[in-house]
Amino acid sequence: MTDISASEDDEVYGSSTLSRALPKSRFPAAESNPRRVFTAVKDELMLDGNARQNLATFCQTWEEPEIHELMDACIDKNMIDKDEYPQTAEIEARCVRMLADLWNAPEGPATGCSTTGSSEAAMLGGLAMKRRWEARRKAEGKPIDKPNLVTGPVQVCWHKFTRYWDIEHREIPMDDGRLLMTPEEALKYCDENTIGVVPTLGVTFTGEFEPVKAVSDALDQLEKDTGLDIPIHVDGASGGFLAPFCAPDLEWDFRLPRVRSINASGHKFGLAPLGVGWVMWREEKDLPESMIFWVNYLGGNMKDIALNFSRPGGQIVCQYYNFLRLGREGYEKVHGACYDTATFLANEIAAMGPFEIVFDGDRARGIPAVSWKIKDGTDPGFTLFDLADRLRVRGWQVPAYTLPANCQDRAIQRILVRNGVSQDLCALLVEDMKAALDHVAAHPRKEPLSEADASGFHH
Ligand SMILES: *Cc1c(COP(=O)(O)O)cnc(C)c1O
């Protein structure tokens, strides 16, 4: 008879492995039982914030069950191995063609590729601008040692781009009452060494769209007046997957001839799981040959444009699933619900008393996000950092942060409404915000929290 009695091997928390703290820095000498180690690692993840309650992130935190299955089916697919996985490569090419259509590229071969996110896409779009500027300057016999890039208040990826590639970053400072790039300000920073202007469709700090068309018109006028032809790259990390569905009349994309390239995050409002972005060029000629590596092992010649090599294919496959599954109709429904919820939140937060809404999530003017500040000239006895700290008690992560130059002394708080941040959840959040306000009023801190004391929200 086989022995079916329990043994030491069946124990999890009662085992010798888990009856003490696990190694944190020395490389473990011995192997361990998978079930026990799995349990310990999974348990540790409990200490992370709950992603669904993370209202700081722009990224997807809820996916349909079919996405989970597709990700599992793709766990072993390396998208760079285009000869081994030609169908994944074909699916990526289809997504590129669909994006050229969505963003109104002119007829002709769709030019673009997937990336790990908008950051890599920004590096590639930025590099193409630099190369095109260099080629033009060289042809004119002019020096290429002082390139600059003009942006509004941008996400950190553009600081990385300019620093990694030795480009002068001319970031238009915010001003009291002006938290965006305007055409007048953009022109002030442009000269013959400007490789491009980057407006953001959905500024990180407030959620607002920068005025791409007005900036484009201003640059058209500059070209008429001075002959300077300065291209636009749109950082559409969020807006690239919002405006086409929810603000279709907004001209921000390849309908504007000056827009030569666009990046967007598939894992934000593209609704794909974490790890995919897109960069698209208007036409083939906007992507310098020197950035393309040709791989010929597919029968045809395949372009490879990327900073990475190996990368999972699942996110791309899921992006394609989303395009087919939702279509324009579905994306409008999903994002439309988010905009409605943002409006609900903006009204509720405005009615609480101490706050002034900075951006209310209007679909024609920005992304489904709400940002607010404490009313100018008032001191309610608490800071936005106190409020964020108190909301954390219920698991809500609602970031408070100070603005970039020249508004560093102004704190702002922001909620990102994305798929799965439902109106019902937000109604519960509103109740918790009211309770938090009552709490901070009843128990004022001797020393209200500042940004330096805040626990720090990462996104
Ligand atoms: C999120 C974001 C980025 C960076 O995108 P990742 O996909 O996280 O790399 C760049 N620009 C803007 C405006 C963003 O919102």
Chain segment 56-71, per-residue pLDDT in tens: 999 999 999 999 999 9
Average pLDDT of the residues in 380-397: 96
pLDDT for 16: 87
Name the token pair of 433: 């915000």
pLDDT single digits (tens) 319-371: 999 999 999 999 999 999 999 999 999 999 999 999 999 999 999 999 999 99
Distance 233 CA to ligand 1 centre (A): 14
Distance 48 CA to ligand 1 centre (A): 22
pLDDT for 459: 40
Check: CB of residue 128 under 8 Å from CB of residue 151. Answer: no
Q: Is residue 60 part of a domain?
A: no
pLDDT single digits (tens) 173-195: 998 788 999 999 999 999 999 99
Question: Cα–Cα distance between 99 and 276 in angstroms, integer?
Answer: 14
Considering only CA atoms, which of 334, 332, 457, 323 is closest in space to residue 397?
Answer: 457
Q: Is residue 454 part of a domain?
A: no
Q: Is residue 54 part of a domain?
A: no
Name the token pair of 160: 């990385």
Check: CB of residue 369 under 8 Å from CB of residue 207. Answer: yes
Q: Report the interhelical angle of 314-351 vs 423-442 (nearest 10°).
A: 50
Whether the predicted pLDDT of 8 surpasses 80: no
Distance 306 CA to ligand 1 centre (A): 17
Confidence of residue 4 (pLDDT cuts 50, 70, 90): low
Residue type, 72: D
Are 246 and 170 members of one domain?
A: yes
Check: CB of residue 36 under 8 Å from CB of residue 18. Answer: yes
Whether the predicted pLDDT of 253 surpasses 50: yes
Q: Is residue 59 part of a domain?
A: no
CATH classification at residue 348: 3.90.1150.160
Are 226 and 242 members of one domain?
A: yes
Peptide bond preceding 104 in cis form (omega within 30 of 0): no
pLDDT-above-70 percentage for the chain: 96
Q: Is residue 337 part of a domain?
A: yes
Q: Where are the alpha helices (DSSP H) in 203-313?
A: 212-226, 243-246
Give the atom of ligand 1 at the shortest distance from the alpha carbon of 203: 13
pLDDT for 300: 64
pLDDT for 454: 72
Which of 322, 342, 367 delimits the end of a domain?
322
Are 169 and 299 members of one domain?
A: yes
Q: What is the mean pLDDT of the chain?
A: 94
Whether the predicted pLDDT of 119 surpasses 70: yes
pLDDT single digits (tens) 221-247: 999 999 999 999 999 999 999 999 999
Kindly state the DSSP code that residue 361 receives in the 8-state scheme. Answer: -
Contacts of residue 17, Cβ cutoff 8 Å, sequence gap at least 6:
32, 33, 36, 37, 40
Please state, as a whole number, how many other Cβ atoms lie within 10 Å of the Cβ of residue 267.
25
Whether the predicted pLDDT of 84 surpasses 80: yes
Paired with 293 in beta bridges are: 304
pLDDT for 338: 98
Q: By three-state DSSP, how is residue 174 classified?
A: coil
Distance 377 CA to ligand 1 centre (A): 33
Are 173 and 272 members of one domain?
A: yes
Pocket residue to mutate for ligand 1, from 57, 204, 242, 307, most atoms within 8 A of Cβ: 204
Q: By three-state DSSP, how is residue 278 classified?
A: strand
pLDDT for 299: 59
pLDDT for 3: 61
Confidence of residue 426 (pLDDT cuts 50, 70, 90): very high
Are 312 and 402 members of one domain?
A: no
Average pLDDT of the residues in 68-91: 93
Where do we find the tokens 């897109």? 278
Whether the predicted pLDDT of 433 surpasses 60: yes
Q: By three-state DSSP, how is residue 41 classified?
A: helix
Are 165 and 185 members of one domain?
A: yes
Q: Is residue 55 part of a domain?
A: no
Q: Is residue 459 part of a domain?
A: no
Question: Cα–Cα distance between 354 and 453 in angstroms, integer?
Answer: 22
CATH classification at residue 112: 3.40.640.10
Whether the predicted pLDDT of 275 surpasses 60: yes
Question: Cα–Cα distance between 359 and 417 in angstroms, integer?
Answer: 13
Which residue has the least CA distance to atom 1 on ligand 1?
A: 237
Q: Is residue 63 part of a domain?
A: no
Where do we find the tokens 């994006």? 99
Are 336 and 304 members of one domain?
A: no
Give the atom of ligand 1 at the shortest distance from the alpha carbon of 156: 10
Name the token pair of 258: 């000056």
Confidence of residue 7 (pLDDT cuts 50, 70, 90): low
Confidence of residue 455 (pLDDT cuts 50, 70, 90): low
Out of 2-6, 168-172, 363-367, which region has the weakest mean confidence (pLDDT)? Answer: 2-6
Strand (E) or helix (H) holding 348: helix 314-351
Are 167 and 278 members of one domain?
A: yes
CA atoms within 13 Å, Cβ hemisphere of 431: 6
Question: Cα–Cα distance between 252 and 37 in angstroms, integer?
Answer: 50
Are 334 and 317 members of one domain?
A: no
pLDDT for 298: 59
> Considering its fold, how many domains does the chain have in total?
3
Where do we find the tokens 């063609």? 97
Which residue range(s) make up the domain with 10? 1-48
Are 154 and 213 members of one domain?
A: yes
The residue ranges of DSSP E strands in 321-422, in sequence order, are 355-359, 369-374, 400-402, 411-416
Are 238 and 337 members of one domain?
A: no
pLDDT for 452: 84
Strand (E) or helix (H) holding 445: none
Give the atom of ligand 1 at the shortest distance from the alpha carbon of 154: 13
Distance 369 CA to ligand 1 centre (A): 15
Q: Which residues of 9-32 are buried (b: 16+ CB within 10 A; e: fewer)?
A: eebeeebebbeeeeeeeeeeeeeb
Are 24 and 111 members of one domain?
A: no
Whether the predicted pLDDT of 456 surpasses 70: no
Question: Cα–Cα distance between 368 and 67 in angstroms, integer?
Answer: 23
pLDDT for 458: 43
Which residue has the least CA distance to atom 5 on ligand 1?
A: 118
**Ligand 1 pocket by Cβ (under 6 Å):** 58, 117-119, 155, 157, 200, 202, 204, 235, 237-238, 265, 277
